C-alpha cells in the first residue's frame, strides 16, 4: 500500500510538472519520443536517462512510453537508429558537383554531426561490440558510406581506380579508411575538438586520395 500511495503521489506530481498532455497519433508520438531520445541521450550517459524523464518531457505517462518501447534498451536502439539515419542523410545529402567536392562536403557534414552529438557518438563507437543490435546499426551505416564511395569511384578520372573499385584490396583499403574516419572522429570530439575541423577533414581527404592510389598500385604493377 505504501508503494501504491507513493506511486500515486508521484503521478500526480508528474501531472502538475507537465500539464500539457497532448493527443498525438501513433507515428507522431513515436517520432516525438525518438526526437526526445536524441536530445536526452545526446549529452547524457545511458544510465542517466530514465523513461520517467522522457515521459515527463513528452507530457505523457510512463506507461504510454512503455506502450511504444517495451524496454529502455528498445528505446535507445530506436534513438540510435534515428541518429544514424540523420547522419547518413546529412553526409550524403550533396548529390551534385564533382565527387571530390561531394566528399569534402560530406566529411564536413559528418564531422558537424559528430561534434553536435559528441557524447552519444563516442559512447556508441567505444562500446559498439556490446550489443548486437547496436553493432548492426553501426555496420549498416558504415556499409552505406562505403557503397556511396565505391559507386562514386565509377567516375574517377583515373581509369584504374574506376576499374578496381570493387577489387578485394580496394574494399579492404576503403574499409580501413572508414576505420580511420571513425577513430579520428572519436578522438577529436573526446578531446574537446581542439583541432580545427577543416584540418581533421583535410587529413582524411588526403588519406583517402592516397588510399585509392595505393590500392590500385599492385594492379598497375607498381
By CB under 8 A, name the binding residues for a copy of itself. 126-130, 135, 168-169, 172-173, 175-184, 187-188, 191, 194-196, 199-200, 202-204, 206-207, 209-211, 213-215, 217-218
Residue 135: CB minimum distance to a copy of itself, A: 8
What is the length of the chain? 222
Looking at beta carbons only, is 12 or 127 nearer to a copy of itself? 127
Residue 58: CB minimum distance to a copy of itself, A: 30
Q: Can you tell me which residue has the cell 520517467?
A: 52
The 10 Å Cβ neighbour count of residue 106 is: 21
Q: Can you tell me which residue has the cell 501513433?
A: 26
Looking at beta carbons only, is 57 or 190 nearer to a copy of itself? 190
* Alpha helices, DSSP H, located in 43-163: 51-58, 62-68, 72-91, 99-116, 118-126, 132-152, 159-163
Q: How far is CA 64 from CA 10, 39, 43, 60, 70, in A?
A: 16, 19, 24, 7, 10
Residue 15: CB minimum distance to a copy of itself, A: 40
Looking at beta carbons only, is 4 or 222 nearer to a copy of itself? 222
Looking at beta carbons only, is 63 or 179 nearer to a copy of itself? 179
Residue 160: CB minimum distance to a copy of itself, A: 15
Amino acid at each position: 500500500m505504501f508503494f501504491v500511495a507513493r506511486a500515486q503521489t508521484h503521478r500526480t506530481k508528474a501531472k502538475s510538472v507537465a500539464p500539457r498532455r497532448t493527443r498525438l497519433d501513433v507515428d507522431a508520438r513515436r517520432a516525438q519520443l525518438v526526437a526526445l531520445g536524441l536530445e536526452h541521450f545526446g549529452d547524457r550517459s545511458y544510465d542517466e536517462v530514465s523513461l520517467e524523464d522522457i515521459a515527463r518531457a513528452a507530457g505523457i505517462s510512463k506507461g504510454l512510453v512503455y506502450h511504444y518501447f517495451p524496454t529502455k534498451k528498445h528505446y535507445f536502439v530506436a534513438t540510435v537508429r534515428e541518429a544514424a539515419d540523420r547522419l547518413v542523410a546529412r553526409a550524403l545529402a550533396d548529390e551534385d558537383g564533382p565527387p571530390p567536392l561531394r566528399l569534402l562536403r560530406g566529411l564536413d557534414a559528418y564531422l558537424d554531426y559528430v561534434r553536435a552529438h559528441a557524447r552519444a557518438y563516442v559512447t556508441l563507437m567505444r562500446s559498439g561490440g556490446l550489443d548486437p543490435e547496436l553493432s548492426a546499426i553501426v555496420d549498416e551505416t558504415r556499409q552505406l558510406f562505403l557503397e556511396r564511395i565505391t559507386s562514386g569511384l565509377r567516375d574517377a578520372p583515373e581509369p584504374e581506380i574506376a576499374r578496381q573499385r570493387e577489387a578485394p584490396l580496394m574494399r579492404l583499403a576503403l574499409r580501413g579508411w572508414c576505420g580511420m574516419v571513425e577513430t579520428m572522429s572519436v578522438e577529436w570530439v573526446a578531446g574537446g575538438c581542439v583541432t580545427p575541423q577543416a584540418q581533421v577533414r583535410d587529413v582524411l581527404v588526403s588519406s583517402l586520395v592516397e588510399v585509392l592510389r595505393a590500392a590500385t598500385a599492385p594492379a598497375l604493377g607498381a
